[in-house]
Structure 1
Amino acid sequence: MGNSTDLQEIEDCLATNKKLYKFYAAVMILIFILALPLNASILHLFIFKLKFWKSNSNNIFLFNLVLADILLLFCLPIKAYNFIHGERRSNNDVVCKAMLFMLFLNRGASIAFLTVTSIDRYFNVVHPGRKNLLRALKKSPQISIIIWLLLLPLTIPTMLETFECCNSHKGNDTLIESVVDSLREVVFFTQILIPFVILVYCTARIVNRLRKKTVGDTTKLKRAVFLVSSVMVVFSVCFLPCTIARMLLLIVRVRDKSDGLQDGAAVAFDGLMVLSYMDCLLDPLVYCFCSTKFKGLYLSNYFPFLVRGDPLPIESSTGNTPKPQRNNVI
C-alpha cells in the first residue's frame, strides 16, 4: 500500500521524501546566491567595459553563455520554493510551462554556446588559417540570434507536465501518447549527447595538437590544455549524470513495475537535475577566469586591492586589453 501511495505521489508531482527535497532546495538557493552576483558582474563587464558587440566573436559567444546562465538562475528560487513545499513542480499550469520553457531554453543555449566556443577553438588550434563556415559566420553577431531561434522548436516538446514529473512511458499510454513521449525524450537526450560527442572530439584533437607543439610558451600551452580539459569536466559533472539518470528512469518505467524502484529513480533524477544547475556557477570560472586578461580586468574593477600596480587599461571600442608595464595580480 505504501509503495502504491508513493508512486501516486510521484505521478501527481508530489515529493515523497520531503527532507531530501528540502536539501535539494537548499543546494539551489546556494547556487543562486553564489552564481547570481558572479554572472551579473561578468555581464556588466561585457556590456560596459568590453563592449562585446564591437570586439571579437569569442566575446560575443561568451556573453551569450553568461546571459543564458543568468536567465536560468532566475528559475531556481521558484524551483526551490516548490521543493520546500513538497512539490516537484508548480501547481499553476502557466508557471509550470513558463518554468519548463526557461529551464530548457537557457540550459540548451548554455550547452550550445559551450559547443560553438569549443568548435571555434578547435579550428583555431588544429586548423589555423583554414577557411571554414564558422569562421565566416562568427564575424556577425547574428549567429548568436540564430542559435537562440533554433533552440525554440527543441524547447516546445519539453513544455509539458508529464516531462517535468518524469511520467513518460507509464505503461498505460495510447499509441499517440507513446510516440509523443518518445519524441520528447529524443529531444532531451540529443540536446546533451550530440554536443558531448562534439566536445570529446574537439577536446581530444586540441589536447593532442597542443602536446605535439614544441615551439611557444610552455605556460600558455599548459593553460590552453587545462582550459579545454575543464570544458569536458564541467560538461561531464553537470549534464551527463542527469542524462544517465533519465535513461535509467525510463528503463525502470518500461521494464520494472516496482513502485519503490520507480520512486527512487525519479528522486535521483531530480537530484541530478539540481546538480546540472551548477553549470551556472562553473561556466564563468572556466571560460572567463582562465583568461589572464579577463581575470586581471575583473579584479581591477571589483577587487582593486588585490591588484598591484596601475589599473588595467581597456580600449572600449575593441575590447582589447593592452599589456601594462607593471600589473601583477596576487
Structure 2
Amino acid sequence: MANGSVYQLIEDCEATHKALYKFYAAVMIITVILALPLNASVLHLFIFKMKFWKSNSNHVFLFNLVLADILLLFSLPIKAYNYIQGERRNSNDAVCKAMLFMLFLNRGASIAFLTVTSIDRYFNVVHPGRKNLLKALKKSPHISIFIWLLLLPLTIPTMLKNFDCCNSHKSDGNQEDTLVKDVVDSLREAVFFTQIVIPFVILVYCTARIVNRLRKKTVGDRTKLRRAVFVVTSVMVVFSICFLPCAIARAVLLLARVEEWREASQDKAAVVFDGLMVLSYLDCLLDPLIYCFCSTKFKALYLSNYFPFLLKDGPLSLDSSTANASNPKRGNVI
C-alpha cells in the first residue's frame, strides 16, 4: 500500500520529498535574485551603450542570449511556488502549458545562441579568410529571428503535463498504451535530447579545432586565439554543469520507467532529475562570463559603468573602451 501510494504520487505530480523540493525552490529564488539584476544590467548596456544592432561583431547573438535568460528568469518564481506547495507542476492546465512553453523555448534559445557564438568564434579562428553564411548574417537580425522561429514548433511536444512530471512511456497497468501515445512520448523525448546532445557535439568539435589551432600557432598574435579558447571552454563548462547532467538524469529516468523499476527507484530518479533541472537554470548566472570572454569592449564598458573603482584609469566611455579593446597595454580592463 505504501509503494502504491508513492507510485500514485509520482503519477499525480506530487512531491514525495517536500523538504527537498522547498530547497529546490530556495535555489531558484536565489538564482532569480542574483541573475535578474545582472542580466538586466547587461541588457541595458547592449541596448543603450553598445547599440548592438549597429555592431559588426557577435553582439547580436549575445543580446539574444541575455534576452532568453531574462525571459527564463520570469518563469522561475512560479515554478518555485509550485515546489513550495509540494507540487512538481502547476495544477492549472493553462498555466502549466504556458510555463513549459516559456521554460523550453528560452532554454532552447539559450543553448542555440551559445552554440552559434562558439561556431562564429570557430570560423573566425580556424577559417579566418573563408566566407561563410554565418559571418554574413551575424551583422543582421535575420539569423536570430530564424533561430527563435525554428524553436517555436519544437516546444509544442513539450507543452504537455506529463512531460513536466516525467511520465513518458509510463507503465500504469490501468492505462493501455497506444501507438499514438508512444509516438508522441518518443517525439517529445527526442526534442529534449536533441536540443542538448547535438549542440554539445558541435561544441566539442569547435573546441578541439580551436585548441589545435592554438597549438600549431608558433608566430603572430596568440592573444586572439587564447581568448577564443576561453570562449569555447566557458561554453563547454556551462553545458557540462547546467545541461548535460539533466539530460543524463532524464535518460536514467526513462530507463527506470521503461524497465519498470521499483516505485521507490522511479521516485528517486524523478527527484534527481528535478534537482538537476533546477541546476540547469544556473546558466543565467554563468552566461555573463561568456559575454566577458567574447567581447573585451563589453567587459571594459561593464566595469566602467557599474564597477568604476576597479579601473585604474577611472570610468571609460564607449570610445575609450573600444580603444582599450584594440590596445591591451592601455588601462587595466582586459
TM-score normalised per structure 2: 0.93
Give the AA of the match of 2:331: N
Contiguous gaps of at least 5 residues in structure 1: none
Question: Which of residues 283, 286, 293 is equivalent to 1:282?
Answer: 286
Alignment of 1:26 onto 2:26: yes
Alignment of 1:65 onto 2:38: no
Alignment of 1:1-330 (within 5 A): 1-171=1-171, 172-288=176-292, 291-315=295-319, 321-323=322-324, 327-329=331-333
Give the AA of the match of 2:64: N
- Render the CA deviation track for 1:226-277: whole Å, top value 9, x for unaligned: 2221211111111000001111101110113411111111111100000100
Give the AA of the match of 1:125: V
The separation in 1 between residues aligned to 2:191 and 2:291, in whole angstroms, is 27
- Residues 234 and 289, structure 2, Cα contact 8 Å, conserved in 1: no
Cα deviation for residue 218 of structure 1 reads 4.7
Secondary structure, aligned partner of 2:312: strand
Cα deviation for residue 139 of structure 1 reads 2.5
- Residues 300 and 321, structure 2, Cα contact 8 Å, conserved in 1: no
- Residues 101 and 155, structure 2, Cα contact 8 Å, conserved in 1: yes
- Residues 230 and 293, structure 2, Cα contact 8 Å, conserved in 1: no
Cα deviation for residue 306 of structure 1 reads 1.9
Change in Cα spacing, 1:8 to 1:27, as seen in structure 2 (3 Å) is same
The separation in 1 between residues aligned to 2:321 and 2:306, in whole angstroms, is 19
- Residues 75 and 102, structure 2, Cα contact 8 Å, conserved in 1: yes
Give the AA of the match of 1:199: L
Count residues in correspondence: 327
- Render the CA deviation track for 1:88-107: whole Å, top value 9, x for unaligned: 01111111111000000000
- Render the CA deviation track for 1:106-157: whole Å, top value 9, x for unaligned: 0000000011111111111001110112122223211111110010000011
- Residues 21 and 86, structure 2, Cα contact 8 Å, conserved in 1: yes
Give the AA of the match of 2:323: P
The separation in 1 between residues aligned to 2:141 and 2:120, in whole angstroms, is 14
- Render the CA deviation track for 1:279-300: whole Å, top value 9, x for unaligned: 1110111233564332221111
- Residues 291 and 299, structure 2, Cα contact 8 Å, conserved in 1: no
The separation in 2 between residues aligned to 1:153 and 1:209, in whole angstroms, is 38
TM-score normalised per structure 1: 0.94
Q: Which moved more, 1:13-22 or 1:206-215?
A: 206-215
Paired-residue identity, %: 78
Contiguous gaps of at least 5 residues in structure 2: none
- Residues 49 and 314, structure 1, Cα contact 8 Å, conserved in 2: yes
- Render the CA deviation track for 1:173-225: whole Å, top value 9, x for unaligned: 21111111011111111111111111111111011111211223455543332
Q: Which moved more, 1:253-262 or 1:288-297?
A: 288-297
The separation in 1 between residues aligned to 2:134 and 2:223, in whole angstroms, is 28
Which consecutive aligned stretches of 4+ in structure 1 deviate over 4 angstroms post-superposition? Answer: 217-220
Over the aligned positions, Cα root-mean-square deviation in angstroms equals: 1.8
Q: Which moved more, 1:243-252 or 1:306-315?
A: 306-315
Cα deviation for residue 37 of structure 1 reads 0.8
The separation in 2 between residues aligned to 1:195 and 1:91, in whole angstroms, is 33
The separation in 1 between residues aligned to 2:293 and 2:30, in whole angstroms, is 21
